[in-house]
Amino acid sequence: MLKILTVFTVLILGMACKETLKSPPTDEGKITPPLSDSKDPSATKPHYAQSKKFIIASKKQVNDSRQFCIKSLKKMPNRISKANIKKVCAQVSLERSCYSKNKQPIFHYDKKGISSRGKKILALSLIHGDEHGSGTITSSWMNRLDGLKPRNTWRVLPVINPDGWDKSTRVNANGVDINRNFPSKDWEDLAYNWWRDKKKSDPRRYPGPKASSESETNCLLKHINNFKPDFIISIHTPLGLLDFDGPKVRAPSTLPLPWQKLGNFPGSLGRYMWKDHRVPVLTIELKGSRGIAKLEEFDRLQDISGTVAIRAGKLLNKNRTKN
């Protein structure tokens, strides 16, 4: 059982603003612009471990990953139209080492934002292969980004764990929970013991033989090092809530899911990115295993996520300036 630490009450201030600049100005637009990242030395250098170069795969591999994208997106529940799948998958790319244990490509989609105050947002889903509805959200976001000029810059990885998804298992083909395999500072001391003692060696939550032992974990680490996100959105099912690891932001006013804090675990993305590297992570836990059915709600979730990213960035800059 996850322990709920705090429940945030949603404030009735502010408006969820649209990801497109066509939207009316919001309360956020009235706030004095924050210090740009370049003026704040501590903001520019997250302390990631140095990693190998980010190299795009060969033309053939990228083309194969586009076919794999089409196949994958067609499998999603409540999927986008076939024509849109084809269109959006024609734009995905592949880092050359981003393959699962069973050699399936872990493709990504990039869209550059146009606002100077926009943030770099990394969105991912199906890190747990049995959470089918999570992929519908990211593929829907890719589709939407394709048709607009967003304020934020996005990188989307809709299928982190293709082997687990094939078999509908939480874990990857090695039986490892990728979301317990990130090299958080406490991994050596806590990850294995926590799994054995607190989770009674539940095979669904096995953290792996060592930190970042899995190719899927390393693919995501490469993207983190290369893209240097200001904000990460990780989409899961089935708890039906928004769990935020980050500074105490004012929650947007109209939320489709309750804003609750669950905390994070040794080796999880939230522990690694927020606790160790001060990059906020918003975990969207859709209700039920198949996610939500209405496409408009996907859009709202994307806008809300973008708003939280910008608010968190402002707070972080403010805190850094004070310290």
Q: Which residues bind Zn ion (CB under 5 A)?
A: 128, 236
Nearer to Zn ion, 238 or 258 (CB): 238
**Residue number, nearest CB to Zn ion:** 236
Q: Which is nearer to Zn ion, 128 or 205 (CB)?
A: 128
* CB 69 to Zn ion: min, Å: 21
Contact 219, 97 (CB under 8 A): yes
Helix, strand, or coil here: 269? Answer: helix
Distance of CA 272 to the CA centre of its chain: 13
Residue type, 83: A
Q: How many CB atoms lie within 10 A of CB 27?
A: 13
**CB nearer Zn ion, residue 192 or residue 265:** 265
Count CB neighbours of 323 within 10 A.
6
d(CA 297, CA 279): 26
Write down the least CB distance from residue 131 to Zn ion, Å: 5
In the complex with Zn ion, which residue's Cβ is closer, 152 or 184? Answer: 184
CB of 66 to Zn ion, least distance (A): 26
C-alpha atoms less than 13 angstroms from C-alpha of 230 in its C-beta half-sphere: 26
What's the rounded Cα separation, in Å, for the pair 299 and 97? 31
- Type and span of the H or E element at 311: helix 295-322
Q: Which helix (H) or strand (E) holds 110?
A: strand 109-111
Nearer to Zn ion, 150 or 266 (CB): 266
Q: What is the closest distance, in whole angstroms, from the C-beta atom of residue 195 to Zn ion in the complex?
A: 15
By beta-carbon proximity to Zn ion, the closer residue of 95 and 130 is 130
Min CB(217)–Zn ion separation in Å: 15
Q: Which are the contacts of 199, defined by CB distance < 8 A and separation ≥ 6? A: 205
Residue 244 beta carbon to Zn ion: minimum distance, rounded to whole angstroms: 16
CB of 180 to Zn ion, least distance (A): 11
Tokens 């969207």 belong to residue? 284
Residues β-bridged to residue 234: 124, 283
Task: Output 66 or 128, the one with its CB closest to Zn ion.
Answer: 128
Tokens of 198: 């607190």
Closest CA to 136 of 177, 75, 218, 212: 75
Nearer to Zn ion, 136 or 153 (CB): 136
CB of 158 to Zn ion, least distance (A): 14
**φ and ψ of 196, to 5 deg:** -70, -45
